[in-house]
Chain A
Amino acid sequence: MKAMTSRSRRFYPVLAFLSASFLFSPLGLQAQASTSQSSTSAHGDRWLHVRVISTDAKGDTVRVNVPLELAEKVLPAINHDQMRNGKVRLGNVECDGVDVRALLDAVRTSKDGEFVTVQKRDADINVAKREGYLLVHVKDKDRPRAQQVEVKVPMKVVEALLSGDKDELDIVAALHALANQGDMELVSVKDEENTIRVWVDSKSVSD
């Protein structure tokens, strides 16, 4: 019996070591994760960022960072109203009498150039297709500090958006196409109250 206890005693340090390493393994992993964490995404993920900064004294700020892959996986799980399997069914839905799908399809199939140029006393509006991008520029001059809207969407994203059935927009396909694009600013809105930016890059944080 004595021999057995002395033999088992020899295993105590090994047991203690194994228990301690098992017990503290999550800590070790977390420490590794935190040291390797940086603003750049570890496995080449693409992130969609939205930032709204209010110019008032309170300095209200909204920051949203969404991995495009996460959005691609989660959107098909949302089946509510017009949203089904990552696609938005337009049906007869029109935006202020504008057939969105027909408009996008017309832009997709046309050559580079300026489609809309409106120059009014209070606003300038410009819609163009150039070097594989759909560009929208709006300048509202009827304010103390002119509102400026810039939209830049890769045509590949527009094409992916239209890749579904005739009466639907494929949001997941558009996000997938967007993930394959380089770092870019999609939307920029500046006015007297807010600055809004929507952009895509490989960083998990917006600043």
Chain B
Amino acid sequence: MVLLGKIALGFGACVLTAGAYTFRQGVVRVDVDENRGNGSHVHVWAPAAIVPMAMHFVPKREMLRAADHSAEFMPVVHAIAKELQKYPEAEFVEVYDGSEHVQVRTHGGSLLVDVDGPDEHVHVKCPLATIDDVAEQLAAYAPGA
């Protein structure tokens, strides 16, 4: 009975630690809703912690190819993500264009891009630390790195 209790406690502690780690890293969220008939609705929610981890399982050949394609702008992405972390709550761009509203801002350490139009709504949320991690990992595979 005591042994079972210990196992349960250990399992609980693991779940709690994993949950806390995931919670701290935040969530990558992509929501796309098309209002027209037969419009697609895409909702992806994933723990941001798994993104850098998942990149370790991507075949090296694919990483090299991705790094080659993104070599020119990845240092810029890395610099932006790194600097934006200093502004966890800020609004950078807001455009009202008649019926369309575009907003780029940071909130709670995540980058948020919201596009609301008459035909579709797109909401993207990604922790800045995750963008920085991905950019850093891709930069490591870049030619000449």
Contact = CB atoms under 8 A, between A and B. Distances in A.
B4 interface: no
Interface stretch (B16-24, B34-42, B46-54, B62-70): B16-24
B89 A74 contact: no
Contacts of B109: 30
Contacts, number: 79
Contact of B96 (A61, A66, A73): A61
Interface bracket on B: 20 to 34
A25 B80 CA distance: 26
Contacts of A59: 96
A23 B21 CA distance: 8
A116 interface: no
Interface residues of A, number: 33
Chain A binding surface SS class: mixed
Contacts of B98: 58, 60
Given A19-B16, A26-B23, A60-B98, A73 B83 contact: yes
Given A60-B96, A60-B97, A22 B80 contact: no
Interface string B85-110: 01111111111111000000000110
Contacts of B5: 5
Nearest to A1: B2
A64 B76 contact: no
Contacts of A22: 20
A77 B78 contact: yes
Interface of B: 2, 5, 13, 16, 19-20, 23-24, 72, 75-76, 78-80, 82-84, 86-98, 108-109
Interface of A: 1, 5, 19, 22-23, 25-26, 30, 33-34, 37, 45, 58-67, 69-70, 73-74, 76-80, 204-205
Given A60-B96, A67-B83, 18 more contacts: A19-B13, A23-B23, A25-B24, A26-B24, A30-B108, A60-B95, A60-B97, A62-B94, A63-B93, A63-B95, A64-B92, A65-B90, A65-B91, A67-B87, A73-B79, A73-B83, A77-B75, A77-B76
18 contacts: A22-B20, A26-B23, A26-B108, A30-B108, A33-B108, A59-B96, A60-B96, A63-B91, A64-B93, A65-B90, A67-B86, A67-B87, A70-B84, A73-B79, A74-B80, A77-B76, A77-B78, A204-B90
